[in-house]
Amino acid sequence: MMSKGMGRAGSSRCFKHGLAVAALIAITGSITARGQDFSRGRGRVFQPGNLVVSRSVYDNKSSNVTVGEQLPPNCTESNCVTAGYNGLFPYIFNNAPIDGSFGITSRIFLDQITPFGWPVNSLEVPNSLQPWITSKSNQVVTSFSSKSELSLNLSTDHRYLTFIGYVAPVNALDVSNANTPGVIDPTNPVPGAYYRVVTQLDEEGNYHFTETNAYSGDNGRAAIFSDLDGQNYYFTAGNAGNGSNPQPTGVVLGAGAQFIDPSDDPEIDQLPGLPTPVGAFSVTELGDKADKVGKDDNYRGLALYDSVLYYSKGSGSNGVDTVYFVDTTGKACPNGVGLPSPSAALPTAPFSAYDPTTGTPTNMCILSGFPTVLAKSSSSDHYPFGIWFANATTVYVADEGDGYTGGTDLYTHAAAQTLAGLQKWVFNSSTQSWTLAYTLQTGLELGVPYTVRGYPTGTNAATGLPWAPATDGLRNLTGSVDPWGVVTIWAITSTVSGNGDTGADPNRLVVIQDDLSNTEATTAAKECFFMLRTAGFAEVLRGVSFTPGTEDDQSIW
């Protein structure tokens, strides 16, 4: 049983709550990149009550990129740039400022750990580097430097774990900004085409793959499988578009929130249709002037609670960086802001009223109390990512920070942020809106640079900034509430650094505990984050979830 307290070693103020420190500090490194092969059914792979962390490992070969080669691959003359760095990590990602679409596909590992951080096993997801995988085999990869990918979510019945990747070989370049085969944008500078794929697996490690044409030009970020009320659907979050402005409306409008039917066929036999939005939002609902087409729907986080879908947007210079919900009643928010109706039901079909030509009508709303200011406004300072409901009146939102790398003050800038970290929002029944109670930051070490074995130190000559990563905020998260009302949250950190692409920084898994009933910031300041794990050289951590088969009352207890 988890103890009722958690603390950060060496700080007495952090012992109000705490896990056993000796257990926590046992895992500060990384599980081996090789992992164990459980991909062909060898009994139960995942034990109920444990955690799963999604990790990607870059295949560190200089030959992956040749200095002087043209990027993106197969580019036309007007779109081509020249690679300045070979494939060795992390210098390869200095190509990102040269090629705005730069990325390289990499292997996915699902690491099972106990809630205390002890390693259990590691499952390598099918990929082209495995000897039994051919071009006709089911396989999936991620884009190593795409920091918003590989969120992990349990299905509504808790039997399955889901995430989104690409149907592509390992070490393919610029896949994350390529088109999908069924939605070609001729203005996209990346001419390749790759299906995105929702990957589902059960506690025995059995896979189910569903290809989609959604997220052409960009990436899928999260997926949840729902079987509520006889459903059998995926709800997904992401973004689309990588072409010129104006981009074709069929590519980007309503692309962020998708409704996908699972397929029973092998990947090689699947022929997915056009993307089918489950929801869409426009700033015109707030009375603001229309933004760049599609960018209002650039979603990063996804949650399903009490038959309502919630999405977060926290990046880009368009739209509103805030938390949204899908209104299936059509009455919850006539002015773009509101609360889900108690009678609301999950969508059971794509948004049939949605017009892909005009993008109207819209059926998504900003959750009442959350920010409504435009992202382009100087007063916009929220960057929400992961969403986790502790109960109907308490929601925790991971804020990844603003990602500032504009100068040598990047560390002090990160440390000065007041909203980056773990935000606790509480519903006020009197005002019928959500209120930010406080932001948990103690022990997160915002802006404090750290070292990773084998990773460069000093200054990156390509950027003129220090190589060392520092925490900037949080992205994906999951949580549990114990019988005494103590909330435990596990989360993945975001970073800033002088790397050419901060998405390639070795980041961390952290944990914190909070009193569910507390709303006082001074009390919360005594609660501390504790680091469970740092990614190793050429590794990144992306998502965290409880294992498939874990019921609510099995989480930790």
Identify the residue whose tokens are 């700033």. Answer: 283
Residue 72 preceded by cis peptide, ω within 30: yes
Identify the residue whose tokens are 């197969």. Answer: 74
Residues ≥6 apart with Cβ < 8 Å to 352: none
Q: What is the pLDDT of residue 14?
A: 60
Contact assessment for residue 213 and residue 194, using Cβ atoms and an 8 Å cutoff: no
Q: ∠ CA(368), CA(373), CA(374), 5° rounding?
A: 130
Q: What is the pLDDT of residue 349?
A: 86
Query: Per the structure block, which two tokens stand in for 503?
Result: 């998405």
C-alpha torsion sign, points 177, 180, 184, 224: negative
Q: Cα(481)–Cα(230) distance, rounded to whole angstroms? A: 28
Helix (H) or strand (E) holding 24: helix 21-24
SS3 268: helix
Q: What is the pLDDT of residue 230?
A: 79
Contact assessment for residue 103 and residue 25, using Cβ atoms and an 8 Å cutoff: no
Q: Cα(297)–Cα(308) distance, rounded to whole angstroms? A: 17
Residue 334 preceded by cis peptide, ω within 30: no
What are the backbone dihedrals phi and psi of residue 52, each rounded to the nearest 5 degrees, phi first?
A: -125, 130
Q: Cα(409)–Cα(417) distance, rounded to whole angstroms? A: 13
Residue closest to 396 by CA, chosen among 512, 315, 522, 296 = 512
Query: Per the structure block, which two tokens stand in for 541?
Result: 């951590």
Specify the amino acid at residue 332: A
CA 204 to chain centre: 24
Strand ranges for 76-158 from DSSP E: 81-82, 105-113, 119-124, 142-143, 153-154
Contact assessment for residue 313 and residue 321, using Cβ atoms and an 8 Å cutoff: yes
SS3 286: helix
Q: What is the pLDDT along the chain (557 residues), one digit of tens a residue?
A: 233 333 333 343 464 454 433 334 433 333 333 344 444 445 689 999 999 999 999 999 999 999 999 999 999 878 899 999 999 999 999 999 999 999 999 999 999 999 999 999 999 999 999 999 999 999 999 999 999 999 999 999 999 999 999 999 999 999 999 999 999 999 999 999 999 999 999 999 999 999 999 999 999 999 999 998 778 999 999 999 998 877 777 788 788 999 999 999 999 999 999 999 999 999 989 999 888 777 889 999 999 999 999 999 998 888 999 999 999 998 999 899 999 998 888 988 888 777 766 667 789 999 999 999 999 888 889 999 999 999 999 999 999 999 999 999 999 999 999 999 999 999 999 999 999 999 999 999 999 999 999 999 999 999 999 999 999 999 999 999 999 999 999 999 999 999 999 999 999 999 999 999 999 999 999 999 999 999 999 999 999 999 999 987 665 55
Contact assessment for residue 112 and residue 52, using Cβ atoms and an 8 Å cutoff: yes
| Cβ density class 383-393: b for 16+ within 10 Å, e for less | bbbbbbbbeee
What's the Cα-to-Cα distance from 199 to each of 137, 225, 551, rounded to whole Å? Answer: 14, 10, 21
The strand pairing partners of 491, in sequence order, are: 477, 510
241 burial class (0-12, 13-18, 19+ CB within 10 angstroms)? Answer: buried
Q: ∠ CA(364), CA(366), CA(367), 5° rounding?
A: 115
Identify the residue whose tokens are 């099995």. Answer: 554
Q: Cα(475)–Cα(122) distance, rounded to whole angstroms? A: 22
Residue ranges of domains in the chain: 44-180+192-263+280-554
Residues ≥6 apart with Cβ < 8 Å to 178: 188, 190, 191, 192, 193, 194, 217, 242
Helix (H) or strand (E) holding 446: none
Beta-strand relationship, 364-367 and 322-326: antiparallel
Residue closest to 396 by CA, chosen among 527, 253, 248, 289 = 527
Residue closest to 54 by CA, chosen among 166, 171, 153 = 153
Contact assessment for residue 2 and residue 115, using Cβ atoms and an 8 Å cutoff: yes
Q: What is the pLDDT of residue 252?
A: 83
| Cβ density class 199-223: b for 16+ within 10 Å, e for less | bbbbbebebbbbbbbbbbbbbbbbb
Helix (H) or strand (E) holding 250: helix 249-252
Q: What is the pLDDT of residue 551?
A: 86
Q: ∠ CA(104), CA(452), CA(124), 5° rounding?
A: 45
Q: What is the pLDDT of residue 78?
A: 82
* Global model pTM greater than 0.85: yes
Residue closest to 278 by CA, chosen among 238, 313, 242 = 238
Q: Cα(484)–Cα(516) distance, rounded to whole angstroms? A: 9
Contact assessment for residue 311 and residue 325, using Cβ atoms and an 8 Å cutoff: yes
Q: What is the pLDDT of residue 21?
A: 35
Beta-strand relationship, 364-367 and 337-338: parallel
Residues ≥6 apart with Cβ < 8 Å to 293: 245, 246, 247, 249, 252, 253, 359
Beta-strand relationship, 81-82 and 70-71: antiparallel
